[in-house]
Chain A
Amino acid sequence: MRLKGLKILVTGGASGIGRALVEAFIADGCFLGVFEKDAKSCDMLNNEYGDTVRAWPCDVSCPDQVDRTFGSAKDAGFRPDVLINNAGIIHSEPLVNIGKKTERIHSRENWKKVLAADLDSVFYVTSCVVDDMIQRRCQGLVISISSIAAHGNIGQSAYSAAKAGVNSLTFTWAKELGPLGMRFVAIAPGFLDTPSTRAALSENTLARIQQQIPLRKLGSTSAIYLAAKAIIESDYINGTVIEVDGGLSL
C-alpha cells in the first residue's frame, strides 16, 4: 500500500498513541478518520486539521454507537482502507487484594468495563469496517494496538486478557480473510515515555523497568508510528504481533 492518499480510521485518536499516529499519517499525505469518545476532542481535531481529518464522537465499546457512527462516516464519504484499533483503557487491579478486609476480589464491573473497552471495541469496529471493505472489494488492512501485557502482567488480569484476545482475533481474521487479500496485524508496545506512563508509574518504578529493558530506555510514540507505517507499506506482513518494546518481552 502506498501511504499518500490512504484513508485511515483511528479509534481513540485524540490523545496518546492515537494522536501521534493521526499527526504522523497526516504528514504522510493520508486522510484520517477518528472515532473518539470525547466530543470536545473531536471538535478540536475537526477545527485543527480541516479537510484532512474528520472526527466523530463514538464510544467504540458500544455496538449501537459503532454501527451508527460508521454509517455516518460512510455517508460522509469516509470509507477506510486501513483501520487502526487503538482505543482502550489501562487498568490495574489484583485478582484478590489481600490487604483489604472487604471487597477483596477484583471488581466484576471493572472486568467488564476493561474487556468492553479493549476487546469488544476491536470486534465491533473491525466487523463494520471489514464488511464495508468486502462490499467494496477493498484489500484493506486492520492494525490493532495490543500490548506486551498479552503475555500476562501481574495485577492486570482484565487488561492482559483483553490484549491476548486482540492478538487471537488478529490471528483468526488473518486466516479467515487473508484469501480475500485483507491483512490483520497487531502492534504490542512496551513501556513508552508518555505523560500517561509517567502519571501511572513512579520514577523509581520507571527506573527499575528501564533496567529490565535490553535497550535500557523507554520507547516513544514515533516507534509505534514507524511500525504501523512499515506494516502498511509491506504487503506481506500478515497475522502477526509486532512487539515494539526494546526487547523487554524476551
Chain B
Amino acid sequence: MKLEKLIAMTLNSSEASLVNETELKNIPSWDSMAHMVLITAMEKEYSVQFSGDEIAEMKTVGEARRLLRGHGVSA
C-alpha cells in the first residue's frame, strides 16, 4: 500500500492532502498515541521494525518514507 494511503487511513485524514513536507503533528487526529498506532500499522504493512530513535525522528511524511527506504522498502 502507498504510504500516503496508509497514513490517511490510520490517522483519518485525506490522502490528497499529504505531501512529503506534511508534518504528522499537523494532521488533526495526530497525538503521541496516534503516532504509535501509525508506527504499528507501518511495521505490519511493510514488515519492518523501527528503532526508538527512528520513531522519534519520524516527523514528516517524507521522513517516514526515508526511514522505510532505510529498511529496504519503497512506499
A and B interact: yes
Interfacial residues, chain A to chain B (CB-CB below 8 A):
134-135, 137, 176-177, 179-181
Q: Is B43 an interface residue (CB 8 A)?
A: yes
SS of B interface (majority): helix
Q: Is B40 an interface residue (CB 8 A)?
A: yes
A173 smallest CB distance to B (angstroms): 11
| Chain B residues whose CB sits within 8 angstroms of the CB of A135 once the complex forms | 52
Task: Count contacts on B: residues with CB < 8 A to the other chain.
Answer: 7
| Chain B residues whose CB sits within 8 angstroms of the CB of A180 once the complex forms | 36-37, 40
Q: Is the CB of B43 within 8 A of A134?
A: no
**A139 to chain B: closest residue by CB:** B40
B19 smallest CB distance to A (angstroms): 26
| Chain B residues whose CB sits within 8 angstroms of the CB of A177 once the complex forms | 33
Could you give 8 example pairs across A and B, Cβ below 8 Å? A137-B40, A137-B43, A137-B49, A177-B33, A179-B37, A180-B36, A180-B37, A180-B40
A83 smallest CB distance to B (angstroms): 19
User: Measured between alpha carbons, how far is A207 from B36 in the docked complex, in Å?
Assistant: 52
Known contacts A135-B52, A137-B49; A179 and B43 CB within 8 A of each other: no
Q: Mark B43-66, 1 if CB is under 8 A from A, else 0.
A: 100000100100000000000000
**A136 to chain B: closest residue by CB:** B49
User: Measured between alpha carbons, how far is A92 from B49 in the docked complex, in Å?
Assistant: 49
A138 smallest CB distance to B (angstroms): 11
User: Measured between alpha carbons, how far is A181 from B33 in the docked complex, in Å?
Assistant: 12
**B43 to chain A: closest residue by CB:** A137
| Chain B residues whose CB sits within 8 angstroms of the CB of A137 once the complex forms | 40, 43, 49
A132 smallest CB distance to B (angstroms): 12
Known contacts A137-B40, A137-B43; A179 and B33 CB within 8 A of each other: yes
Q: Mark B8-46, 1 if CB is under 8 A from A, else 0.
A: 000000000000000000000000010011001001000
**B34 to chain A: closest residue by CB:** A179
**A179 to chain B: closest residue by CB:** B37
A69 smallest CB distance to B (angstroms): 22
User: Measured between alpha carbons, how far is A134 from B55 in the docked complex, in Å?
Assistant: 12
**A181 to chain B: closest residue by CB:** B40
B35 smallest CB distance to A (angstroms): 11
B8 smallest CB distance to A (angstroms): 17
B7 smallest CB distance to A (angstroms): 15
User: Measured between alpha carbons, how far is A137 from B33 in the docked complex, in Å?
Assistant: 14
| Chain B residues whose CB sits within 8 angstroms of the CB of A134 once the complex forms | 36
